[in-house]
Structure 1
Amino acid sequence: MKFNEKEISLLLKDLLLNKEIELSDIPDLELYMDQVITLFDDKLSHLKRFYDEKLMTKTMINNYTKSKILIPPNKKKYSKEHMILLILIYNLKQSLSINDIGILFKDLLDHVSNDNDIDLHKIYESFLEIKKYQEGILKNELPDKIKFIEESTSGLDLSNKDLSQMLIFVLSLINEANIRKRLAEKIIDGFFTNDRL
């Protein structure tokens, strides 16, 4: 694999970032746990890094309920709201601890449990829109980022240039992810904790 815009763009396209579970994909009727897991596997299998990776398991769902980041099921059945929360948890747990997710969700779950003024469906739709927007930004930034890395590594030995450039590219992606993760943690600590004003 060569370090160039075409190769990296193909990797990005291969991620199928825009393939999401839409609200219309979630049944209005309540599902049993096995059906929840099947829905995840059917709709999000493209997110697996490895073939045998589990996106969602019974143990995970039970642990989320015990950790109070998921509202308890109603007679072992999971509603559309449960599904939305599980999808959000799946996305959040890629970068945040269960403890941080618990802090983030505490007030939200109180509102969802009491049928209050928070529209979880609207939050989820907004989240999907933002994900599509962010994918566009990533695609648009890619050429400049690759050009910058190529320019900053122009003096490297040609025999290992692709290896070095790919390493630097991965380091830059992880650095961006770390900055965004730390910012999210700062927001959780400053806004979602009980210490907020």
Structure 2
Amino acid sequence: MMIEFDEAVLDQLIEELSLTEDIAISEIPDIELYMEQLTTFMESKLESQVNGTPEKVLTKTMINNYTKAGIVMPPVNKKYTKRHIILLILIYNLKNILSIKDIKSLFGPVLNNIATPDDDLITLEEIYTTFLDVKNVELACFRQGLAEKANMIKAKTEASDNAGKKTAELFLIVIMLVAQADAHKKLAEKIIEKYF
């Protein structure tokens, strides 16, 4: 199988990741939702991020487990607020990398008593909008850095003119991405362990 791979293909693959399809703060309902409405909202807004897997974005069981773990405040009269939704979106993004225990450790000193916003060091709205801003900056840096690393890998395989050259390049890109992801994950865990 011949693999055609260049910067345009790399850009297309990055686009397919749906990394820029975030829920804007203005899209989050400022009304209280029941559990079914909440899960439907999350599913509709985040479905593009599950990349074709059969997994659900957010289930009733997940929400109940997060509440029991103390990282989401209990609903009031079985209704969830904008604050719940923001927190659940953040957890959804963080749990791909961090354990629930680490997420709780991370939020603990910043949100203090999860049930009230009165003692938050940073409001959930500020945390969320900053998260989106940082994510967009990171995506731009990611694209540029990935293109540079892909060119470096191409240069390393330039001498090879066998039929498997493109496969070797893709293999090396995957290995590089895994190493990069591992380094970022370990640094995040180390910061949580040391300071949270």
CA offsets 1:112-156 (integer angstroms, 9 cap, x no match): 423224311111111111111111111222321111010112233
Identical counterparts, % of pairs = 43
**Residue 111 of structure 1: CA displacement?**
4.4
2:130 to 119, 126, 132: 126
Tell me if the contact between 1:70 and 1:109 (Cα under 8 Å) persists in the aligned partners.
Answer: no
| 1:150 matched residue in structure 2 | 154
TM, length-normalised to structure 2: 0.92
SS at match of 1:158: coil
The letter for the 2-side match of 1:66 is K
1:88 to 80, 87, 90: 90
| 2:64 matched residue in structure 1 | 62
CA offsets 1:146-181 (integer angstroms, 9 cap, x no match): 110101122335211111111110111111111000
| 1:79 matched residue in structure 2 | 81
Distance 2:141 2:129 in 1: 19
Closer, same or farther: CA 185–77 of 1 in aligned 2, 3 Å: same
Structure 2 residue runs of 5 or longer lacking an equivalent are none
2:168 to 164, 167, 174: 164
- 1:173 aligned to 2:170? no
| 1:191 matched residue in structure 2 | 195
- 1:23 aligned to 2:29? no
| 1:2 matched residue in structure 2 | 4
Tell me if the contact between 1:32 and 1:77 (Cα under 8 Å) persists in the aligned partners.
Answer: yes
Tell me if the contact between 2:67 and 2:73 (Cα under 8 Å) persists in the aligned partners.
Answer: yes
Tell me if the contact between 2:72 and 2:114 (Cα under 8 Å) persists in the aligned partners.
Answer: no
Distance 1:29 1:52 in 2: 29
The letter for the 2-side match of 1:175 is A
SS at match of 1:113: coil
CA RMSD of aligned residues (A): 1.5
| 1:39 matched residue in structure 2 | 41
CA offsets 1:89-110 (integer angstroms, 9 cap, x no match): 1111101111111111222342
Size of the aligned set, in residue pairs, is 192
**Residue 77 of structure 1: CA displacement?**
1.0
Tell me if the contact between 1:32 and 1:78 (Cα under 8 Å) persists in the aligned partners.
Answer: yes
Greater mean deviation of Cα atoms: 44-53 or 6-15 = 44-53
Greater mean deviation of Cα atoms: 173-182 or 115-124 = 115-124
- 1:137 aligned to 2:147? no
TM, length-normalised to structure 1: 0.91
Distance 2:66 2:22 in 1: 21
Structure 1 residue runs of 5 or longer lacking an equivalent are 193-197
Tell me if the contact between 1:23 and 1:121 (Cα under 8 Å) persists in the aligned partners.
Answer: yes
Tell me if the contact between 1:70 and 1:86 (Cα under 8 Å) persists in the aligned partners.
Answer: yes
Distance 1:128 1:112 in 2: 21
